Amino acid sequence: MFTATGEFNQVYRYAPVDMQGMDNVLAIYSDRTHHQQESAALEHNFYVFTLDVMVKRDGGETTEDTLDSLHDTIRSTIKANQVNANWDLLSLAEPSDAYFTEVSGVAYRLESHSLSVKETT
């Protein structure tokens, strides 16, 4: 669903320890899982993934504008993929949280999104 082509220069399947100074990075990693048995034949699996968007802070409004643009990319991608053969529902129900961070000595602006995935088996 998310690739390193287009808006993101790199997409990680984990929280990276060293991004080697890359810009416009998305890190996706699992946070929580919940299994709910409705009946012998119906089980729901709920997964929560964290989607961290990181933009290198090299000054000015450009960093904030880029972060806003990547946030819109996250929202539109989730909206376009609400239901498919692999899941029953995608949701960004919780507000995102933006803050300043440093990864391997490089300053970043980070916006963290919480993605809920519902799967019925």
Buried b (16+ CB within 10 A) or exposed e, 69-101: ebbebbeeebeeeeeeeebeebebeeebeeeee
Cβ atoms within 10 Å of 33's Cβ, excluding its own: 10
Rounded Cα distance between 98 and 84, Å, is 29
Q: Cβ distance 17 to 25 under 8 Å?
A: no
Mean pLDDT for the stretch of residues 27-55: 81
Beta bridge partners of 47: 33, 117
Give the model's confidence band at 41: pLDDT under 50 very low, under 70 low, under 90 confident, else very high.
Answer: low
Instruction: Write down the domain spans for the chain.
Output: 10-120
The length of the chain in residues reads 121
pTM here?
A: 0.83
Q: What is the CATH number of domain 10-120?
A: 3.30.70.1700
pLDDT level of residue 53 (50, 70, 90 thresholds): very high
Q: What percent of the chain lies above the pLDDT cut of 70?
A: 89
Q: Quick one: what percent of the chain has pLDDT higher than 90? A: 40
pLDDT computed for residue 100 by the predictor: 94
